[in-house]
Chains A and B, each alone.
Chain A
Amino acid sequence: MRYLPHTEEEISEMLTAVGKETLDDLFCTIPPDCRRDDEIALPQAMTEWQLDAHMTEIGNMLEVTPQHKVLVGAGSYHHYIPEMIRALASRSEFLTAYTPYQPEMAQGTLQGIYEYQTLTARLLGMDVANASIYDGAASLAEALLMGLRIKKKKKKVAVSKGIHPHHRQVVRTYLQATEFEIVELPIGDDGRTDLSLLEGVDDLAAVAIQSPNFLGVIEDLSGAGEKIHAIDAIYIASFTEALAFGLIKNPGECGADIVCGEGQSMGLNRSFGGPGLGMFACREKLTRNMPGRLVGETVDRDGKRGFVLTLATREQHIRREKATSNICSNQGVCAMMAGMFMATLGGTGLRELARLNHSKAEYLKAELKKAGAEIVFDSPTFNEFLVRFSFDFEPVYEKLFERGFVAGINVGKYYPQYKGCYLFCATETVTREDIDAVIQEVSR
């Protein structure tokens, strides 16, 4: 096997050096009744070329092909990724390194993550961002736990039903073994979170709202901020489409205390939903309550600028059960890629790309409306929106799939009140011709 370098001679030489006769003798401390009595049942080892063929076959089992135009976001977006990001991120100095505990050997990772933290904080309008969390869902769970740590006496949190349903499920999982309680805030007829439930409530540690929300609607984050702060709760703003902040006000401008979300749009493939990137940022005064790793600036013995992991006393390997979270490894290389993507676009490019996404989606929205479909909410949206058809859309969906389009997803599974409504998404990857072809099929 090409990954195992030892020759038979070397093995016997080394066995002699350690005073053993056979490789099996090395395991003399393992009691017989803890051992397997058979070989591991696995397929025969494959060569590179056999593996290539096998994986090509599996790729061909996917009915949805890379050529399909997938007009679906719902937390996972198709954006163009410049080739250089793949090339740079696959440099093995980044890819095959460990968490940068030895800073003199990892200045590349450390400076790259420091830059990612900085650009993330600027994107979200916050003071400090961490070096990432697993994904958007875990970020939200960690943000709520952080809110509960800050407001020690309060045992309840509120989450909007406009938050990605899977993220809310993860929050329930994280909190199920604790004494904490979760309240869900309903969505109003305008597609925005109904905050009237908050009035006069005084036992909420934190309130979380997603914007643009799962149904595509841009929430009134500023208005929400006033209401949430009025009841002395931590204001958490989450997101699944980070690109939106190239155009709309970022959560920091709207008064959020903690901002968390999924950063997959920032240069990562959809890759069946992972690995993604949990982006996480907060106000400076909350830094020490923040979970996860942080990179900070310092100097070396010659006074030269350099970077290290810092504020580790909050973390599990030092604080054990009193840590701000149990997170250890995070999404290092994904954070690097997001940094690369933000650097590649720049401020000017991000603005242009965000506007383009908005324009494409608005065009699709207008054309669907002309074709007789109902746009469920007339509130402003970014690149996703909810559509209701006056006829059974399934057969049209099938027909469009055959023509190479995935025309949204049915949200009935998650929102019974919107059964039969489809969530559409249009990014810069969708052309006017694509949209016109979809409309042609819908109009038949």
Chain B
Amino acid sequence: MKHEPVNGPGTTGLIFKEPLLWEKGKKGRKGMSIPACDVPAAELDSALVGAGPDFPDLSEVDVVRHYTRLSQWNFGVDSGMYPLGSCTMKYNPKINEKQAANPAIAAAHPMLDDRYVQGTLKIMYDLQQYLVNITGLDAASLQPSAGAQGELTGMLIFDAYHKSRGSKRTKILIPDTAHGTNPASAALCGYKPVPVKSSADGVLDIDTVKELMDEETAGIMVTNPNTLGLFETNIREVAEIVHAKGGLVYGDGANMNAVMGVVDVKKCGVDVIHLNLHKTFSTPHGGGGPGAGPVCVVEELKKFLPIPHVVKDGNSYRLDWDNPDSIGRVHGYHGNYGVLVRAYSYILSMGGENLKKASQLAVLNANYIKEKLKPYLHLPYDKPCMHECVFSDSRQQELKITTLDIAKRLIDYGFHPPTVYFPLVVPGAIMIEPTETECKEDIDQFIESILHILEEAKTNPDLLHEAPTRTKLKRLDETLAARKPCLCG
């Protein structure tokens, strides 16, 4: 070959190389047709004028190819099974995207008077009502932008409730099977988290809670089903203990996908719950957002919800700003509105019966995986699980194979790995959540792949240690990235 191409994008076949944005382009190129100036050009005081940012100049094709290639190095739910425990990576319906892009909704300005934007308010009002009906609680706010902001909203409601009764409590109970955001959210409200150890069967123990709950404690934050995928069977008794001492019960509803149409959250004794619309209600995770974390509360706490709150007067909708007890705003406008529209579309597409069916099938899929893998992987809590099941790598340790190795090898078989090393109560945890949208043959294939990998662990462990090998890049050095941070090009 006389003309050997070097470093061109196509030199690696179909896994393209692609440089960083500023390694491309030519000064003076443009990717957007900017309208001509049809008014006199204005001058600005030169003391205020800056140099303008040092951005590369690219053409439209430059940009399109760049991001198209980048996207091809990514794996999404549309690419294949994504059984990340606690994340509910269910299918994201396309019709929801269309509704969020409705021109009237997409162009709606958030600062106009209510009468101009009745349609957008109607969606909010209806969605509030639907979430109330799904949980069994009494009122909802759609403002929180994510689950963690929903938790923060919930903790601020706790604080406001106790203040309204003339007390400021200092502690909060958090089970060891809760999500990591829980203590961080509580800390923002000045609460000191008190860890609650779960019992040997993976759920809250009534006596342990009784021992820890006192008049200094604002309440408890329970993830139910918990991060072991188990329903907190003693939730009602726990709630009674907490209520008897004047505390409140917060429900982390990230795992609501397991119990829609089955559980009544209010009957469980929960006072506040957040829902993750990007988990339970099918809105896309976007590689890390945007999500939405609406909060539902019991009647007694309704007055503390963020303002403004959408209400209906006769046939029209309005934003109610007038609420002196409210904790205030948590979002600049009305929450991640486009995400709310997607969840609204999903709920209308499903109806009550199918939401329940979704939960049933999510639980069926998880139990099926649990039963099929149980003979080969250590199952720390062998009982009926909800929407996810948690294994550990303890049986593979003698082969010098870890959870991470199994996870990375799964990539070579075309699956996104499950959640690993979480929850912390299970060392070397492998947390699998298939969701209801995976069909039986894909689940069977996933199980087969894991079994095959466990065989490889015995016969050729290096295949696991070196994995992944079929991706654009091999295993990445995360230690180096943290030791010598390079965060900006």
Contact = CB atoms under 8 A, between A and B. Distances in A.
A92 B78 contact: yes
Interface centre among B21, B79, B437, B482, by most A CB within 10 Å?
B21
Interface string A164-191: 1011011011101111000000000000
B99 interface: yes
Contact of A64 (B93, B112, B184): B112
Nearest to A115: B21
B57 A51 contact: no
B385 to A, nearest CB: 9
A96 B285 contact: yes
Contact of B70 (A92, A111, A248, A360): A111
A218 to B, nearest CB: 6
Nearest to B186: A321
B358 to A, nearest CB: 6
B95 A170 contact: no
A129 to B, nearest CB: 7
Interface residues of B, number: 200
A112 B70 contact: yes
Interface centre among B54, B110, B422, by most A CB within 10 Å?
B110
A201 interface: no
Interface in B230-265: 230-231, 233, 235-236, 259-264
A245 B73 CA distance: 32
Contact of B110 (A27, A272, A295, A331): A272
B130 to A, nearest CB: 6
A91 interface: yes
A172 B92 CA distance: 36
B347 to A, nearest CB: 6
Given A58-B122, A64-B116, A272-B108, A176 B328 contact: yes
A48 to B, nearest CB: 5
B439 interface: yes
A107 interface: yes
A76 B104 contact: no
A76 B282 CA distance: 27
A145 B152 CA distance: 14
B50 A249 contact: yes
B190 interface: yes
Interface residues on A, range: 35 or more
Contacts, number: 699
A122 B53 contact: yes
B336 A134 contact: yes
A286 interface: no
Contact of A42 (B32, B68, B328, B355): B355
Contact of A295 (B28, B261, B487): B487
Contacts of B82: 98
Contacts of A359: 37, 39-42
Given A66-B103, A98-B89, A325-B184, A6 B53 contact: no
Contacts of A117: 487-488
Interface string B270-284: 000000001000101
A150 interface: no
Interface string A37-80: 10111111110100110111011111111100010101110101
A412 interface: no
B305 to A, nearest CB: 12
Contact of B148 (A109, A294, A318, A327): A327
Contacts of B335: 274
Contact of A406 (B101, B109, B148, B345): B109
B445 to A, nearest CB: 14
B482 A310 contact: yes
B76 A1 contact: no
A45 B149 contact: no
A38 to B, nearest CB: 9
5 contacts: A17-B371, A76-B333, A80-B35, A105-B468, A274-B338
Given A111-B18, A271-B108, 20 more contacts: A5-B438, A13-B440, A37-B264, A63-B116, A88-B63, A96-B76, A102-B411, A137-B329, A166-B332, A274-B332, A301-B474, A310-B481, A316-B183, A329-B147, A329-B291, A346-B58, A352-B34, A353-B32, A354-B52, A380-B44
The 6 closest A-B pairs by CB, nearest first: A273-B333, A273-B110, A45-B351, A332-B288, A333-B286, A96-B76
